[in-house]
Amino acid sequence: MPQFMLLTAVNCYSVKAATRVQDAFAAAKLLALGLIIIIGFVQIGKGETEGLLPENAFKGSNSDFGNIGLALYSGLFAYGGWNYLNFVTEEMIEPYKNLPRAIIISLPIVTVVYVLTNLAYFTTLSPDDMLTSEAVAVCIMTLLYAFSNDIFSVINFFSFFNWLCIAMAIIGMMWLRYKKPELERPIKVNILLPVSFVLACLFLIVVSIWKTPVECGIGFGIIATGVPVYYFGVCWQNKPKWLQQAIFSMT
């Protein structure tokens, strides 16, 4: 908890300081993953490729439609974060030029590093070992969230409400485009792109409700915790002056 409070304080104090801290952490993570990847290639050079063979790598897999949808959750969770680049446009210099560059550069790097890291894992561990070994970071995530003894349950209910909120946000933007076409829109795309994206989100949401209703219920509960905050901050318009001043002073 003190670490989280310290990082929050740094982000509130200075954008530049927060950027430097994030750059340092990103470099440290890439160096650690690079070391794992190098060790993996050394193992491959020694002939330790049994776990990479298709018959072993996909052992125990099935083609169930619902399980494929849940597998997408895990992949999207692992590669998540790309969409948060849009939130820093106000802090960027020439965002129309640099934001696409950041997305185009970061996504391939993350994809290549994650794929090579998983290949390195498979040179030493079998799929079953990866799920049970304390040496894999998945166990750390389970302890961190402390919601469940199964990391995949954590991923499912987190991803459910995440993609539900994303779908609702995209639907809201399409509604505004229909109701208020005269609004200025710096970035415009073909309507088929957001429609396709919403359909993909709905697929993930429906499959999740079908296969993991308990986790989805937890996701709904997490979303519901924001309702009192919404009514307090948005719907309650005639707040006392002292309360408004207190809120403004904190924000």
Q: Across residues 78-100, what is the average pLDDT?
A: 75
pLDDT band at 192 (very low <50, low <70, confident <90, very high): very high
**What number of helices (H) and strands (E) belong to the chain?**
12, 0
**Per-residue pLDDT for 196 more than 90?**
yes
Domain boundaries, the chain: 1-48+81-135, 72-78+148-251
Q: What is the pLDDT of residue 171?
A: 93
Mean pLDDT in residue range 63-80: 77
In this prediction, residue 139 carries a pLDDT of: 47
Q: Which of 59, 52, 107, 57 is nearest to 81 (CA)?
A: 107
Question: In this structure, what token pair is assigned to residue 236?
Answer: 């309650």
pLDDT at 244 over 70: yes
Q: Tell me the pLDDT of the chain averaged across its residues.
A: 79
Token pair recorded at residue 194: 């957001």
Sign of the CA dihedral with 103 first, then 109, 112, and 118 last: negative
Residues in Cβ contact with 59 at an 8 Å cutoff, skipping those fewer than 6 apart: 126, 127
Does the pLDDT of residue 48 top 50, yes or no? yes
pLDDT confidence of residue 150? 62
